[in-house]
Amino acid sequence: MSVGAAARPGRLAGARRDAALIGVGAVVLVLAALPVDATRVSSAEAEVFHAVNGVDLVPFVLVWPVMQLGNVVVVPASAVLAAVFRRWRLGAGLLLAGAGTYYAAKVVKAIVERGRPDGLLADVVIRGEAAAGRGFVSGHAAVVVALLATAWPWLGRRSRIAGAVVATAVCLARVHVAAHLPLDVVGGAALGLGVAGTVRLLLGRPH
């Protein structure tokens, strides 16, 4: 059997996983958006929010830099890092996924009306500067998950674990500082997965 013939089943399996990623991201995004209301927050979501927002184990000075790993400026920085290691396709994928997710999040925010936690709940602890504008979805959560999911096929086991920990920390940090409600970060993560799956399907995987 030739190398090309042997590689085709692997590429097909990879394409199926990428398509599944798109489907899962789309379904979770819709499910997260359905309970969202412009004037109220469900008791279950409020309890989860207060459980994360009310804990003060880590100083804000340490939370802030972790949270910024979901900032859009990380997108070009990650692409440059990939280029340094001559991972050109990965670098292009990171740029596409990061920028695509950033703008897709703005589209979702324009469609789904929801404010920030301090405008919907009582006893909210705001850490740092209060967030403004619409809250669903979390752009930080979307971007960090999109970057991780795009890079996933290129990463080893330890890097995947570290990336998953970082992405989880960013999502929790956005709730902790009262920038978002729990469903905001769930929806953002789902959006990031969907965009990453699309980019991986278009650009392919590493050999």
Per-residue pLDDT reduced to its tens digit, 116-164: 999 999 999 999 999 999 999 999 999 999 999 999 999 999 999 999 9
The phi-psi region of residue 92 (left if phi > 0; otherwise alpha if psi is between -120 and 50; otherwise beta) is alpha
Q: What residue ranges do the domains of the chain occupy?
A: 3-203
| 56, amino acid identity | D
- As a whole number, mean pLDDT of residues 14-24 equals 93
Range in 11-20, 51-60, 89-98, 163-172 the model is least confident about? 11-20
Q: Is it the case that residue 13 has pLDDT exceeding 90?
A: no
Residue 39 identity: T
Q: pTM for this one?
A: 0.92
Mean pLDDT of the chain: 93
Report which of residues 88 and 57 the model is more confident about: 88
Instruction: Kindly give, in sequence order, each residue whose CB lies less than 8 Å from that of residue 79, ignoring residues fewer than 6 positions away.
Output: 91, 92, 94, 95, 98
Does position 1 have pLDDT exceeding 50, yes or no?
no
Computed from CA positions of residues 115, 116, 119, 121, in that sequence, does the dihedral angle turn out positive or negative? positive
Q: Which of the four pLDDT bands, split at 50, 70 and 90, describes residue 207?
A: low
pLDDT band at 3 (very low <50, low <70, confident <90, very high): very low
Residue 206, pLDDT score: 79
CA angle (106 as vertex; 166, 174 as ends), nearest 5: 30
Q: DSSP state, 131? A: P
Residues ≥6 apart with Cβ < 8 Å to 75 = 94, 95, 98, 99, 102, 143, 147
The whole-number average pLDDT for the span 91-117 is 97
